[in-house]
Amino acid sequence: MRYLIGMFALVLALGVSVSAQAEVQNVKVGGDIQIRGITRSNYNLVDKVLDASWYDSAVRLQISADLSNDVGAVVRLINERDWNATAGGDGTGKEDIALDLGYITLDNMFGYPVKATLGRQDILFGEGFLIGDGFNGVSNSNLYYGSTESIRTAFDALRVTYSAAPYTVDLFTAKIHEGFASSLNGDTNLSGVNVNYAYLDIATFDLGYFVKLDGNTGSTKDNNTKALSLRGEGEIPSIPGLTVKGEYVWETGKVITSSNTQDRDANGWYLGAEYALQDNTYQPYFGATYVFLSGEDTTTNDREQFDALYSDYQDFGTIASLKGLNDTNLKAWKLTAGLKPTEALSLDIAYAILNKDETAATIDDHIANELDATLTYDYTEDVQFGLSAAWFDSGQYYTDTYGATYDKTATQVVGSVKVSF
C-alpha cells in the first residue's frame, strides 16, 4: 500500500506540473436541470405516518476544458434542494452550491496508452455492485428514510487507466473519510484494481480486487474488507435478443471493535437475463434477476454479513433501495418487462420479492413484495418527462421486528422533468 501511495503521489506531481503549462484549446459548458414532484404515504409502514408531498430540484453545471499536451479539466457544480426548505438535499443550506466533480486528466502519458484522472470523479465498475457511489455510500439501513438522497456519487480519488484492446486496467485509491482529528487512525480509504476484457463486440468480463481500510473502529487497528469480484455480461449469439449478466463477490478481512475482532467471510452475487423480442414495432422485453447478499450467522465466530462497500446497485425496487435493503442480508427476485408504445414513450414494469438471508428464529424472513411502474416520454432530444409509482407491500418480517402496526403498504409517486444541455 505504501508503494501504491508513492506511485500516485508521483503521478499527481507530474500532473500538476504538466497542467500548469497547458494552454486552453476548447471549452465546453453543459449540465442538466431536474425537477420532481414527490408524494409518499405510509412510508414507514404505519398508517398515515410519514405521509408527505413536496417538490425538489437538482441543478448541475459542468465546464470541461481541453488543453494542450492531452491535458483536460472538468468541474461540475451542483445544487440540490427541497423547494422552500431550510436545508438542501445534502443537509446544508438550501442555496448552497457544492462541488460535484473536479478533476484533471492526462492522456497518453509518456507516449503510452495510459490515462491519469486526478480529483473528484465518478468511478463505476460493472453495474456498481461494489464500487459506484462515493458520496452516499450504502443507503440508510434503518426503516425510516427522508428526502435527503442525493444524485452525487463521486469519489475523491487518484486513478490510472491503461487501455490496450481488448484489455482495460484501472488502478485507483480514494479517500472516503479523513480522520486527522481522531486520536485513533480515523481515516477510511478505498483502493483497488479492476481488469476488464472485451470479447469481440458481444461480451465483457471483469476481475476486480478492492480493499477498504476503516480506522473508525474504536481501536488503534483498521477494520478492513478485502473483496474479490468476478463479473461477466454479454449476448448469446445463438439466441438473438438474449443477454445475460452476473457477478460473484467473495469477501475476507477483519471486523474490529474496541472489544472484539472477527474474521470476515461473506459473499454476494447476482445473476440475470433479459430477452428483447426482435423485429417488433413495440420493442417488448422480459427479464429476471436474482440477488444474494449474505447475512450474519450468529452460530459461527466469523462475520458473514456482506459489506456492500460503496455500491450503486439498485436492482431491488425503488423503495427497497431507498430503505437501504441493498447493503446486506438479502435474497431478492426481480422480474421486469417493458415496451415502447410509441417512438417517444416507454413503459417499464418491475416486480420484486424480497427476503432476508438470516433472521432470528422468532422473526419471519419475508421483507416485502414491491411493484414499480415507470412511464418515460422523450418530449424532445433534450427534454424528458417521467412518471413513476412504487408499491412496497410489507411482509411479516416488519411486524415481527417492529410490532403489529408496521403492516401497511408504503407508496411513492414521482413526476419529473429533466432537461440536458
pLDDT at 188: 87
**Which tens digits make up the pLDDT trace of 59-78?**
999 999 999 889 999 999 99
pLDDT at 256: 82
Coil, strand or helix at 18 = helix
pTM of the predicted protein model: 0.88
Terminal-to-terminal C-alpha distance of the chain = 41
H helices of 187-323, where?
318-322
Domains of the chain: which residue ranges? 2-420
Q: What is the identity of the amino acid at 158? A: L
Coil, strand or helix at 349 = strand
pLDDT at 181: 55
Which class is domain 2-420?
mainly beta
Residue found by looking up cell 447475512 in the block: 295
pLDDT at 140: 42
Closest to 387 measured CA to CA, from 396, 398, 379:
379
Q: What is the pLDDT along the chain (421 residues), one digit of tens a residue?
A: 555 555 565 555 555 554 445 577 899 999 999 999 999 999 889 888 778 898 999 999 999 999 988 999 999 999 988 888 765 555 555 567 899 999 999 999 999 999 999 999 999 999 999 999 998 754 444 434 344 578 899 999 999 999 999 999 999 999 998 876 554 557 889 999 999 999 999 999 999 999 999 876 555 677 899 999 999 999 999 999 999 999 999 999 998 876 788 899 999 999 999 999 999 999 999 999 999 999 998 888 899 999 999 999 987 888 888 877 878 999 999 999 999 999 999 999 999 999 999 999 999 999 999 999 999 999 999 999 999 999 999 999 999 999 999 999 999 999 999 999 9
Beta strand ranges found along 200-344 (DSSP E): 203-214, 223-235, 242-256, 261-263, 266-276, 285-293, 330-339
pLDDT at 8: 60
Beta strand ranges found along 68-217 (DSSP E): 71-82, 98-106, 114-121, 155-164, 167-177, 188-199, 203-214
pLDDT at 145: 38
pLDDT at 261: 86
Contacting residues for 344 by C-beta, under 8 A, at least 6 apart: 377, 378, 379
Burial of 234 (0-12, 13-18, 19+ CB in 10 A): middle
Rounded CA gap, 379 and 239, in Å? 34
Rounded CA gap, 270 and 334, in Å? 11
Q: What is the identity of the amino acid at 138? A: V
pLDDT at 4: 55
pLDDT at 139: 43
Q: How many Cβ atoms from other residues are within 10 Å of residue 178's Cβ?
A: 12
Rounded CA gap, 402 and 98, in Å? 37
